[in-house]
A and B are shown apart, each in its own frame.
Chain A
């Protein structure tokens, strides 16, 4: 059993943060006060607006007698004040523990407010050790409110990871636009555009997290799901786009990829040369699943990469196999007590971790990157930017200064 937990946050925050980036959706946190306080503060940094979180503040009396009445009233209050299209009840640990009848509340609400769509998702200890799956759970709840629409012939659905992807997928979208492939993306910043994902004939998840999301889309609205690989890095992006081009017999997309490769390959070669010279040993630990995708980019640059994954779902298994075979990436799936123990064992030249691991890493004077700051990692330019600035961003001279100071004075 590990002594610490190195993920970014609780899956509740992840659900809250993702839903909090979609206009037309209001998340309602069904949980006790500490849950509301911590999750609101924790999600504040990444939410664009609507920063106030509605909650039910479950108390002792609710635990004994049930909090359904309060929950129902709070949904009504929210609707009366904000008129959202969708309210998602984030069902946290305490109501799960006492077996709250959330579905029952939703059925009653549907009768009372037919125009309002209410759904729910389970977070908290439902995903005890995979924070990013809070997004997957939240997206399923959103999808549950969608209605069937006509499929657009030849269209594709790009299914992203978290709310952070909403409005941030231009690096992929522009290829489909140029290649004139009808496409829909999920998530988007508005519930209206997001609900159009059901029009896609085929779904292509672009990250490892939305397994459940894709399953629900496919089961409820039809359409095949294919996880090709994460379109991160040069090869990853090309492979993904070429696979879509093949499936949809679109030569224009192939041509676009050819053009892009001509543009980016010389720069990639330079990055690889630098990585070969500096011999980077990179430890990527439990981020919002970007330990896998960003790890893949580093591996392509020639770094020796070690990944502590944040999840082990089906898409992860596929991406893991691919990264092992293509780049020889090492995956560390066994438990460890402290991240310091892993650092001492692996002896990386740099680590990428979440905030809470930073003091442990920097105190070992290992150059440290923060996972949550490296998001939307899709496409060619992201990879080049990461590679070109990696050594500058590592700030080795600063660590060397501190190594000298510590050596001289202690610390």
Chain B
């Protein structure tokens, strides 16, 4: 047996394959019916997952059994194809599943037999990537395009959007709006949202615009140039104010249109926006991590925009291909290519970004590590609704990116630095050890200015509260504990530099002693659930947790501590 050459990862973050790529490319075409020549399990997974990201799609299946596969499933294909053909769709797009690719059914023979004129058969490669699947489908679908149509002046095709491309509707809507602003019409969006007639007349356009050059669309644009003589543009990602303007200017230049008046008006509005109070004052002190392996163009475009135009520090990026990684290395020291979940998690913790852009997995991993500020910007999402409203591309997209970032992070951090609406400000004076004071000064320097003073107040107050409950000074170990738990968002990665100093003593040995919940002193009734939650509190802090929770409950005029009380108190402390 040959030794494997694969580098296996124990917890690999699985990414969409060529099969998803092909299906998503087909599913977005209105008026075309897609048949997935597959077993029912494959079919239902694909259908459901597509519907998580997009509003509606028509997908049919040949529902193959093991016997069908082993004995040849051409008859199932024929039956299904004839039924679909009877509906007289604008086209029938057949995508074969991996099992069928193994047995190599003669799908082409079936299609010839049924003889429905507009039939396209796509065989995604087993082991192929999402991009390969999309490009394969894009190019096959070109067979439907009429090469003899007359060119429509000042018209373009937008190449690249497919179903399940994150936020494609909003981006297409915004780019279409901008193009209309300079008098350029979108002939066809190839393929998401296009009608089958728009696909068939795609050759009418004078120019193709690849809007995801680090993902997909460039190969089909090259093919269209060869077959239909349509040049293409793929050099500017229209994300950010500057690049959106440059992109539009470039399109205008192609058509010899003067975009000056439109750009002047638009950029004046953009400039007014970035001059406003809540932009630079917040963004200049922000750091972001972008984990967008399935949205490489977004990774490049958003990183460059946030960094160059609004001053956000990009502390980490994770992408899916080397080209995107190479471009990002210019502005980010830590660029990961298809990292494992562990690598990502470790990097999030090490870098402590104030906001993370990513997909569902990133959201979960970051939440597990205590990160609170997150912006969805990649698939999979497992349940995320998007429409035309919130683009990332174009001028409106640039504004939305800033809005989304500032609103998420500023308000999140702002509220984290607050106590209760009617809560205590201080428990009274408690002496501080000098080491703890010195650490507080150093920690303060690591907190962004826009919340520094208030965040320090919270640290100060919580440290004194804990010290008072334990009957000690505010010691370095108390301040360390407080910094770790109560600082806004995730700065603790940075704080480690303060506490890792050799001069700083380790927590006292007696803090490691086990304190059973049964040995704690309760001054009011606790239900079992609430007591059970104390098991999660480190031993040295359990008694303090009991008294703090009881004070909290009394403050709320409650005579019993239940699980919900513990949870409320924990949240109030920002834990």
Contacts and interface: CB of A to CB of B under 8 A. Distances in A.
A235 to B, nearest CB: 19
B275 A359 contact: yes
B453 A49 contact: no
B113 to A, nearest CB: 59
B425 A48 contact: yes
Contacts of A395: 280, 284, 311
B284 A393 contact: yes
Contact of B277 (A23, A355, A401, A406): A355
Interface centre among B267, B425, B434, B450 (most CB of A within 10 A): B425
Contact of B422 (A45, A50, A359, A409): A50
A265 interface: no
A135 interface: no
Interface in A359-404: 359, 362-363, 368, 370, 373-376, 379, 381-382, 385, 393, 395, 397-398, 401-402, 404
A360 to B, nearest CB: 8
B140 interface: no
Contacts of A23: 424-428
What range describes how many residues of B lie at the interface? 35 or more
Given A48-B454, A50-B423, A190 B432 contact: no
Given A167-B460, A170-B441, A51 B418 contact: yes
Contact of B434 (A177, A193, A405): A177
Nearest to B270: A411
Interface string B436-461: 01101110110001101110111011
B126 interface: no
B271 A174 contact: no
A374 B449 contact: yes
A2 interface: no
Contacts of A193: 428-429
Given A358-B281, A374-B449, A381-B445, A409 B264 contact: yes
Contact of A190 (B414, B429, B437, B452): B429
A46 B453 contact: yes
A193 B33 CA distance: 77
A195 to B, nearest CB: 11
Nearest to A188: B429
A410 B264 contact: yes
A177 B474 CA distance: 14
B447 to A, nearest CB: 11
A373 B453 CA distance: 8
Nearest to B457: A48
Contact of A379 (B264, B441, B449): B441
A345 B428 CA distance: 50
Q: Is the interface of B mostly helix, strand, loop or mixed?
A: helix
Contacts of B450: 370, 373
Interface string B272-303: 10111100110011000000000000000000
Interface in A143-201: 164, 166-168, 170-171, 173-174, 177-178, 188-190, 192-193
B281 A174 contact: no
Contact of A21 (B444, B449, B457): B457
A22 interface: yes
A52 interface: yes
Contacts of B442: 381
B314 to A, nearest CB: 13
A385 B432 CA distance: 23
A401 B245 CA distance: 13
B334 interface: no
B268 interface: yes
A381 B441 contact: yes
Contacts of A376: 444, 453, 456
A405 B426 contact: no
Contact of A398 (B276, B309, B441, B445): B309
Interface in B220-256: 241-242, 245
Contact of B460 (A168, A393, A398): A168
A362 B275 contact: yes
B385 interface: no
A46 B271 contact: no
A379 B441 CA distance: 10
Interface in A322-352: none
A51 B434 contact: no
Nearest to A368: B280
B241 A405 contact: yes
Looking at B264, B434, B449, which has the most chain A CB atoms within 10 Å of its CB?
A: B449
Nearest to B309: A401
B150 interface: no
B426 A385 contact: no
Nearest to A194: B429
A256 to B, nearest CB: 11
B44 interface: no
Contact of A409 (B263, B284, B424): B263
A405 B432 CA distance: 52
A405 B268 contact: no
Nearest to A376: B453
Contacts of B423: 49-50
A168 B457 contact: yes
B421 interface: yes
Contacts of B444: 376
Interface in B160-218: none
B77 interface: no
Contacts of A188: 426, 429
A346 B432 CA distance: 45
A23 B430 CA distance: 14
Contact of A411 (B267, B276, B418, B456): B267
A168 B280 CA distance: 26
A26 to B, nearest CB: 11
B327 interface: no
Nearest to A20: B425
B419 A49 contact: yes
A370 B280 CA distance: 10
A402 B271 contact: yes
A189 B308 contact: no
B310 interface: yes
A55 B414 CA distance: 24
A373 B311 contact: no
A187 to B, nearest CB: 11
Contacts of A167: 426, 456-457, 460-461
Nearest to A168: B456
Contacts of B270: 411
Given A168-B457, A190-B425, A358-B277, 13 more contacts: A23-B426, A51-B418, A170-B437, A170-B438, A190-B428, A192-B429, A356-B277, A363-B272, A393-B284, A398-B280, A402-B271, A405-B241, A406-B271
Interface of B: 241-242, 245, 260, 263-264, 266-268, 270-272, 274-277, 280-281, 284-285, 308-311, 414, 417-429, 432, 434, 437-438, 440-442, 444-445, 449-450, 452-454, 456-458, 460-461, 464
21 contacts: A23-B425, A48-B418, A48-B458, A49-B425, A50-B419, A51-B422, A167-B426, A167-B460, A174-B438, A189-B426, A193-B429, A359-B275, A362-B274, A363-B275, A370-B449, A382-B445, A397-B308, A398-B284, A409-B267, A410-B263, A411-B271
**Cβ-closest 8 pairs across A and B:** A49-B419, A193-B429, A189-B426, A411-B271, A170-B437, A410-B264, A23-B426, A373-B449
